[in-house]
Structures are given as C-alpha cells and as structure tokens.
C-alpha cells in the first residue's frame, strides 16, 4: 500500500472518530434515539435543569439532618415482561431540620424516579418511587438508586431486583 492511500485512510478514520465524539458529547445521539425509537429517557428540558440546579443549590445551604428508610432493598420477584412496575421506598425525617431531596440518580434509563420536591419536616414521612420498565429486560435485574439530600450522609443507596419472564 503506498503512502498516499495510507494517509487518506488515516484521515478518514480520524474524521470518523472526531464526528462520533462530537455527536456523543453534544447529546444529539440520545435525543435522536429517544425521538426515533423511544430508547432511554428524553433529555431534560432547560427548565428541568434549572429547577434541579436551583434545588441542588438550596439543599447545599440547608443544615444537615438525618433520614431513615424503612427498607433499602426491594424484591419484586417474578414479573411479566412488557409492563412498568413501581415501588415506593418510604422514609422518615429523623433529624432536627427539614429534609430536602435534591436528586435521585438511577443506574439505568429503564428506571424513572419520582420524589417530593418540597422539604419534609422533622418527624414527617415521605417516599421515593422507582418505576421500572420491564420491556426488553428478560432475566434477573438488579437496579440501584442514589438519593441525594441534605441528610448525613448526603447520599443514600437504595436498590431493587426483579426477575423478568416472557
């Protein structure tokens, strides 16, 4: 192979890698996949990001408190593929100050968390709901959620498992 052909092939390879990197970093690919195939979760809108950032900033300025979850792990057992299943992880603010959740981070786009955006007063209870989409998840599944708040520790790990059958 002569030097000119090698140079052309190397240039094409470099440009291909560069293009893929740009697409991945821009988030265009995840939005395109969601729009075309419904894969993953939709990219957050600017207002959602602004709300999350504002809540995170507020939580960081709040005094530390403590939280107690009634369970840190839940087993759905055997479930049929195709549906969405939910579980509410209940907690109690066991501290002296209001508890505010800034975010719940999931280990997979197949799990969508929901939680109260309002502070939970001392002695009061709340919940973090995990909704798991079983479509295309046949077999044993173990997923985790990280609850970020003004508690001590500020990150609490929760998990669930389900055996999805056809």
**Can you give the pLDDT at residue 19?**
74
**Can you give the pLDDT at residue 42?**
56
> Any residues with CB less than 8 A from the CB of 161 and at least 6 apart, and which?
73, 74, 75, 76, 140, 141, 142, 143
Domain 64-165 in CATH 2.40.40.20: no
Label residue 29 by pLDDT band (50, 70, 90). very low
Higher pLDDT, 131 or 47: 131
Tens of pLDDT, residue by residue over 88-138, are: 999 999 999 999 999 998 888 889 999 988 899 999 999 999 999 999 999
Q: Report how far Cα 147 is from the mean position of its chain's Cα atoms.
A: 10
Write down the domain spans for the chain. 3-37, 64-165
């Amino acid at each position: 192979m002569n030097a000119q052909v090698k140079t052309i092939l190397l240039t094409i390879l470099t440009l291909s890698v560069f293009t893929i990197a740009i697409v991945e970093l821009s988030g265009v690919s995840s939005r395109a996949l969601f729009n075309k195939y419904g894969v993953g979760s939709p990219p957050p809108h600017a207002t959602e990001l602004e709300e999350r950032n504002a809540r995170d900033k507020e939580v960081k300025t709040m005094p530390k408190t403590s939280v107690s979850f009634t369970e840190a792990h839940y087993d759905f057992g055997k479930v049929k593929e195709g549906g969405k299943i939910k579980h509410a992880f209940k907690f109690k603010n066991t501290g002296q100050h209001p508890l505010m959740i800034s975010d719940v981070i999931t280990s997979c786009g197949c799990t969508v968390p929901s939680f109260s955006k309002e502070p939970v007063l001392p002695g009061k209870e709340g919940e973090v709901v995990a909704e798991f989409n079983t479509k295309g998840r046949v077999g044993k599944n173990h997923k985790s959620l990280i609850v970020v708040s003004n508690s001590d520790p500020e990150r609490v790990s929760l998990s669930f498992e389900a055996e999805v059958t056809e």
